[in-house]
Amino acid sequence: MKQQWTEKAPVWLAGARRVLLLLALSAAAGAVGGVLTAVFGHGVLAVTALRERWPLLLVLLPAGGALICAVYARWGGECGRGMALVFDAAAGRRNNVPARLIPLAVGATWLGHLLGASVGREGVAVQIAAAGAGFLTPALSCPKDRRQLLIAGVAAGFAGLFRTPLAAAFFALELFHTGVAQYDALLPAVTAALTASAVSGALGVSPATAVLGAAVPAFTVETLIALVVLGAACGLAGRLFVALLHGLKDRFGRWMPNAYQRIILVGALVALFGLATGSRYNGLSEGLSAAALAGGSLYAWDWLAKLCLTAVCLAAGFQGGEVAPLFTIGACLGAVLAAPLGLPVPLGAALAYAAVFAAGTNTLAAPLLVGLELFGGEYFGSFFLVCVLAYACNGGHSIYPQTPLPDPDAAD
């Protein structure tokens, strides 16, 4: 027995040192991600406030788009591929996300929000946090550990921006493959997410929590039908966004192969639309989701207008993200459908806030945890049903280039 222990002890100690090193680097990646996303997030809010003070900045959007194109053409190289670089690193097709993506993506997103592009921010937050984690990967020799550290960086980016660490960890685990979560990276992802959330919180980033003030619905037949219909509607809305985004990217590339022509023309159209609608759908449009969650009045088409404008801007080449717009689209859709379905408007908005996110990203655990962390556990049953239906109705589509699992029957 003593001889057996003597033989196995070095192996166990080596494994323990490897795990501790990975967790220490994950915490460091979380700290780096927390700082980067806090600076980035504060910058987005600052330029948004500036644009709201001077709404005529919208007329400069075409010029801003041309400047983004010029900077990426001169210094960006492959950085214009954005999230695809993160997926390549996760698949082992490259060592890490290039560090120069950090200033390029942050600057381009700040400029887009300053001038009124209808884009989000989480895509860039995830990219820069993943790039930050890349500074630490040389300390790891095992490719599997490097991949887990990259996943931890993704979790740090989401958690640092939204301050929802549990949702962030599972978002990173679910992101890279359709229908499976990478649970081998659970501890690094949770470590990085909790660290990033704590660091960004210390730097003044606040979560978008909301007190719904709605009674917890009893699961009567009428309520169940309402939740099923809402979930299906959210699934179809998420699928519409995915189809429109990918379809426009393909068609814009064929119709207008010149990147400058594409972004200038779309920038001009978006600016005109923004001036005509009082910038209602430009930038983050957080006022729409706030109104929906508070039970305020909205137009029936707000969700669709935001969906279309965001897809057009992202397909044209403006930098940003898709998740924050998905939140807004969902909140507006849920608020519009709540009354006809017999649900309290704030509750309907909150449920769709998470469910459209589930459908658009083809994730399930992360949206459920978004609902739990932002709106409280008392509504978890409703969130579960609506998000599951939305996830199912999405049909496996995603805004991200996910890799499907191999079909076990294909080899037969």
50 vs 142 pLDDT, higher one: 50
The pLDDT confidence band at residue 15, using thresholds 50, 70 and 90, is low
Q: 274 by DSSP, 3-state: which? A: helix
DSSP 283: T
Integer Cα distance of 119 and 314 in angstroms: 7
Q: Are 324 and 122 in contact (CB under 8 A)?
A: yes
Integer Cα distance of 324 and 331 in angstroms: 11
In this predicted structure, what is the pLDDT of residue 292? Answer: 94
In this predicted structure, what is the pLDDT of residue 248? Answer: 94
- Residues of the chain with pLDDT > 90, as a percent, come to 71
Integer Cα distance of 128 and 99 in angstroms: 8
Q: What is the mean pLDDT of residues 328-337?
A: 96
With a cut of 50, say whether residue 406 has pLDDT above it. Answer: no
Supply the DSSP string of 292-354, one letter for each residue. HHTT----TTHHHHHHHHHHHHHHHT----SHHHHHHHHHHHHHHHHHHHT--HHHHHHHHHH
Supply the DSSP string of 294-307, one letter for each residue. TT----TTHHHHHH
Q: What is the mean pLDDT of residues 272-284?
A: 94
In this predicted structure, what is the pLDDT of residue 400? Answer: 86
With a cut of 70, say whether residue 325 has pLDDT above it. Answer: yes
With a cut of 50, say whether residue 20 has pLDDT above it. Answer: yes
Query: What spatial distance separates the first Cα and last Cα of the chain, rounded to whole Å?
Result: 46
Question: How do residues 238-256 score in pLDDT, each as one tens digit?
Answer: 999 999 999 999 999 888 8
Q: Are 309 and 331 in contact (CB under 8 A)?
A: no
Integer Cα distance of 283 and 357 in angstroms: 18
Question: How do residues 116-150 score in pLDDT, each as one tens digit?
Answer: 999 998 889 999 999 999 899 888 888 898 999 99
The pLDDT confidence band at residue 179, using thresholds 50, 70 and 90, is low
242 vs 295 pLDDT, higher one: 242
Other C-beta atoms closer than 10 Å to the C-beta of 5 total 9
With a cut of 80, say whether residue 412 has pLDDT above it. Answer: no
In this predicted structure, what is the pLDDT of residue 409? Answer: 44
- Identify each DSSP E strand in 211-304 by its residue range: none
Q: Are 192 and 153 in contact (CB under 8 A)?
A: yes
Question: How do residues 349-403 score in pLDDT, each as one tens digit?
Answer: 999 999 999 999 999 999 999 999 999 888 999 999 999 999 999 888 899 876 5
Radius of gyration of the chain (CA): 22
With a cut of 50, say whether residue 32 has pLDDT above it. Answer: yes
With a cut of 80, say whether residue 410 has pLDDT above it. Answer: no
In this predicted structure, what is the pLDDT of residue 77? Answer: 85
In this predicted structure, what is the pLDDT of residue 278? Answer: 92
In this predicted structure, what is the pLDDT of residue 152? Answer: 96
The pLDDT confidence band at residue 407, using thresholds 50, 70 and 90, is very low
Taking all residues of the chain, what is their mean pLDDT, rounded to a whole number? 90
What are the C-alpha distances in Å from 133 to residues 38, 40, 142?
16, 16, 15
Angle of helix 101-115 relative to helix 61-71, nearest 10 degrees, comes to: 170
Q: Are 355 and 330 in contact (CB under 8 A)?
A: yes
The pLDDT confidence band at residue 213, using thresholds 50, 70 and 90, is confident
